[in-house]
Amino acid sequence: MSYILDALKQSERKRGQQTSAAGNHTPTETPSLPPAPRYRRRLWWLLAGVLLALMLGYGLGKIGSAWLQSPQQAIPLPKPYPGSAPPEKTAPAQPATTTARTPIALGSVPVRILLDEPPALTMNPAPPAGTMAAPTTVITGPEPVAASDPVSVPEPAFDPGVPDLRELPANIRSKLPALTLSVHIYSKTASSRMASINGQMLREGQQFGALRLQSITPRGVILSFDGQEFHLISVGG
C-alpha cells in the first residue's frame, strides 16, 4: 500500500509541476499561412489563355462559314466600245471541184489509112483515042427548075470477088480464130500496103498461123484458110 500511495503522490507532484510550468509561459502568436506557390498562379493564367483561344476560334469559324455560304459575286466583263463590231464568221472555203476526165484510149480504135484514092468506077467507058465522036444535036428546051435539095447518087457497092467472113459456112467459121483488123493501110503501090491482124503487122503474101494474107483491098483484107478465101472488112470501110 505504501508503494501505491507513494506512486500516487509522485504523479500528483508531477501534475502540479506541469500546470505551474504552463502558467508561467506567455501565449505565442498564431503563425500565418504560407503564400500560394507560383506554379498555381501560372496554371490559372494558362487556363484563361486556352479559354480565350477557344472563344476566338469559335467566332472565326462562324464568320468563315457565313462567308462561304454567301453567293459569290460575278465579275462584270468589260463592255465593248460602241464603234467596234463583232468579227463576222466566214464560212470555210470549199475545195474546188475538179471534173474527172475520162482518158481516151487511142490503141483500141482501129486505124484505116488510104494513101491513094481507089480507082473510080465509070458507068460508060471512054471511047478509044483513034475514033471520033459522032456529032450530037443539042436541042434547047425550057430551063429546068432548080431543085431545092441535091440528089445524092448512091456509091456503088464494093465487090472484093470473094465471100465475106459472115457468109462462110458454119463449119469453116467454127474453125477460124477471133480476127481483129486494127490497122489497115492501102496504097496503089503493093509494097506500101500493110495490115495489123490480131496485133501482128503483115504485108501481102505473109502467113500467120493457119491463115494467109492474100491481098489488101481498099475496104479490108482477103485471107485464105484451108483453101477457102474470104474478105475481112475494115471497121472504117
- Domains of the chain: residue spans and CATH: 160-237 (2.30.30)
Residue 191 is classified by DSSP as G
Q: Which of 10-19, 55-64, 180-189 has the lowest mean pLDDT?
A: 10-19
Q: Which of 5-9, 198-202, 220-224, 231-235 has the lowest mean pLDDT?
A: 5-9
> In what side-by-side order are the strands of the sheet with 207-208?
207-208, 211-216, 220-225, 228-233
Determine the average pLDDT of the residues in 87-116.
57
Residues above pLDDT 90, as percent of the chain: 22
- pLDDT above 80: residue 30: no
Residue 205 phi/psi, 5-degree rounding, is: 90, -5
- pLDDT above 90: residue 11: no
Q: 181-186 and 111-114: which strand pairing?
A: parallel
pTM for the complete prediction?
0.39
Give the pLDDT of residue 229: 93
Give the pLDDT of residue 135: 55
Determine the average pLDDT of the residues in 2-25.
68
State the Cα–Cα distance between residues 149 and 133, nearest whole angstrom.
Answer: 34
